[in-house]
Structure 1
């Protein structure tokens, strides 16, 4: 296998889906704000999204290991498309409400989790394992362009035309992603394995199967260690980003427009990271690429804590996002290489739960520490990433000991 037609189909479907995600990122909160001026209800949309993704992660992991992943990607995207087209129709006809908006967001969160997990799990069957870093890097680059550069401005432009316009666009893009995914290659061997498993074991408990994934993760030193580092890194991320807008206003003297520019510039670091990760890994190996990237995260957060210059802060944030992308690509590729195919969905789901819990804890701690000084959570994040880097150097093995 190489990064050939099958990967090209997955990449294309992901690109369409990512563009819809970018539209949703800006459009859904704006729609909520157009229906109510209660900040709790507007913010509640993001809270609902996070809670749904947390609670569905484990059962979706089981589903990804039970069912043909190709069909999951197809159906998750088609169903998202149909749900959003129906929501857009209610907006167009003036029949929508906050309840429908919230229900639509819950559907999007559930099906997004399904499509994302299935895409990560199917990738090792589409490319050579030695090219997983490159494939994951291409997917990450496309996601950054769609989510950060293309989706938000397009969403703002469309919603200025009509409230339903970006929602129609989202629905169309997700439906198109599902149709493109129809061209993913069918793997008869996996069909046979799923059929044999169902025949031998009969109906099985979702709970027990989810526990199998958790147990595998807990007993694998490298993959389990990476999951814990990921959870800790998520804490560090949200320590800063939960209060970043306040830090930008008070410490850097930025306004709403310049803050948006700061974030856009920082995303360029992630784009660079997605392009160089494979070369870095080939030169340094997983151990030092991961440890070095996490150390870069620590240095960038430490520098940001001391910075009052918006240009320097932008460069430091770009370095931070670069580290985050390199870390994410390497940890994902290692998981894809080391986890048995039959467990990829469940181990991925358990890893996602740890990451989401880390985000929630980091957000809480960022707000709590920020009441004393906005520098405190940023400086604390730097310390967290130092710990992550040390753990990575201790846990990640030399390249020669990592078996495919």
Structure 2
């Protein structure tokens, strides 16, 4: 089904950007490992990436609401292309070192946050409310193919050819995403004001989005569940490689096959989510998917078979994609356009904090028994399912809140 020319350009830009992300997933750590054999410096890249995204999230949300989102998408993708092209030239000529890689990765992380927020905020105005689930499903499917199937092996192949090759490819893909975004419709100009508008501070505007989120039962509930789900996700996945080695007894190749199989579950979820939501409504689709996540992780904790673990992780990723599409579509339906960037950012901050908490708890639990993080993750998702069934009890099939869910959230700033 076609959603129009504008969506095709947005989808193309997002796909090119995600393919670059898939290349970065493999090539950046490989490049770091070629510069140092200290695991702390290599692992520190992920830490810096997470911290930058956390610190930049709220200011970026304000920017997305203030400015033309099309221009943001063009600018951040072109800037990522330029930054990575400069890094590739430095790598090719042997200039700079690990600190330069850290700086480039921090820039990539902050710009990625802006691109993600702008993309999610643009979708409702391009496809309309009735097509949100299918449009988000299509974006999710292309993201999984680019991030999980195409990007990592291509990045490894290019790195084997030349260390700078995947970096140059990333630069080209992000530049292409920026040029594709140029074809998106411009944001309608606001009518001229009779009095000069008061320019509030960034943090005051960001706080307005956070307050709106806290007052809206449905969207606030999505953010709460998202934070808990992030804890549940990181509990098993932050130590999954050790779980695979110690409990499943698989080698590196077997671990790669497990991850590839799990990605197939996510691809299936991208196509299934719109149909499930159309048949069962948001409340039961979200609750059932979270319950499926709980069951898959609980069973994972008990298995010693690599094949069974791969199937269970495919079921888990299926649930994660269905839940993610439904949560995104609901936020897009219920959040006013002028607040969309800030509410997205506030929700993202809660999710990032959940990821940090989950990874910390995983290390503590895994020290006792390598299966405990997966079991704890299952319990967290069980709690998420129960919370969703309660909070969304008045939610209509199409996302229209009932009387209890539609309590006025206060005027937008």
TM-score using structure 2 length:
0.95
Q: Please show how residues 187-266 of structure 1 align to structure 2 within 5 Å.
A: 187-188=187-188, 191-192=189-190, 196=193, 200-266=196-262
Aligned residue number for residue 312 of structure 2: 316
Aligned residue number for residue 38 of structure 1: 38
Aligned residue number for residue 81 of structure 2: 81
How big is the shift at 1:376?
A: 1.0
CA contact (8 A) 2:299 2:312 kept: yes
Q: Which runs of 5+ in 2 are unaligned?
A: 402-413
How many residue pairs get aligned? The number is 399
Mapped to 2, the partners of 1:361 and 1:201 lie a distance apart of 40
Mapped to 2, the partners of 1:233 and 1:66 lie a distance apart of 30
CA contact (8 A) 1:270 1:324 kept: yes
How big is the shift at 1:128?
A: 1.6
Q: Could you list the per-position Cα deviations for residues 300-322 of structure 1 after superposition, in whole angstroms to 9, with x for gaps in the alignment?
A: 00110111111111110000000
Question: Would the alpha carbon gap of residues 196 and 71 (structure 1) be closer, same or farther in structure 2, given more than 3 Å must change?
Answer: farther
1:328 matched to 2:324: yes
Higher helix share: 1
Mapped to 1, the partners of 2:263 and 2:297 lie a distance apart of 15
Aligned residue number for residue 387 of structure 1: 383
1:301 matched to 2:308: no
Mapped to 1, the partners of 2:196 and 2:138 lie a distance apart of 39
How big is the shift at 1:382?
A: 0.6
1:63 matched to 2:63: yes
Q: Could you list the per-position Cα deviations for residues 278-325 of structure 1 after superposition, in whole angstroms to 9, with x for gaps in the alignment?
A: 000000000000000000000000110111111111110000000000
1:156 matched to 2:156: yes
How big is the alpha-carbon RMSD for the aligned residues of Structure 1 and Structure 2? 1.3
Q: Could you list the per-position Cα deviations for residues 44-84 of structure 1 after superposition, in whole angstroms to 9, with x for gaps in the alignment?
A: 00100000000000000000000000000000000000100
Q: Could you list the per-position Cα deviations for residues 156-210 of structure 1 after superposition, in whole angstroms to 9, with x for gaps in the alignment?
A: 000001110000000000001000110001232xx216x659x642321001000
Aligned residue number for residue 72 of structure 2: 72
Aligned residue number for residue 410 of structure 2: none
Q: Please show how residues 3-22 of structure 1 align to structure 2 within 5 Å.
A: 3-22=3-22
Mapped to 1, the partners of 2:323 and 2:371 lie a distance apart of 25
Q: Which runs of 5+ in 1 are unaligned?
A: none
Question: Would the alpha carbon gap of residues 196 and 310 (structure 1) be closer, same or farther in structure 2, given more than 3 Å must change?
Answer: farther
Mapped to 2, the partners of 1:316 and 1:402 lie a distance apart of 30
Aligned residue number for residue 399 of structure 1: 396
Q: Please show how residues 111-150 of structure 1 align to structure 2 within 5 Å.
A: 111-150=111-150
1:337 matched to 2:333: yes
How big is the shift at 1:347?
A: 0.2
CA contact (8 A) 1:73 1:115 kept: yes
CA contact (8 A) 1:3 1:128 kept: no
How big is the shift at 1:145?
A: 0.3
The 3-state SS of whatever aligns with 2:166 is helix
How big is the shift at 1:130?
A: 1.1
How big is the shift at 1:400?
A: 5.5
Mapped to 2, the partners of 1:139 and 1:306 lie a distance apart of 34
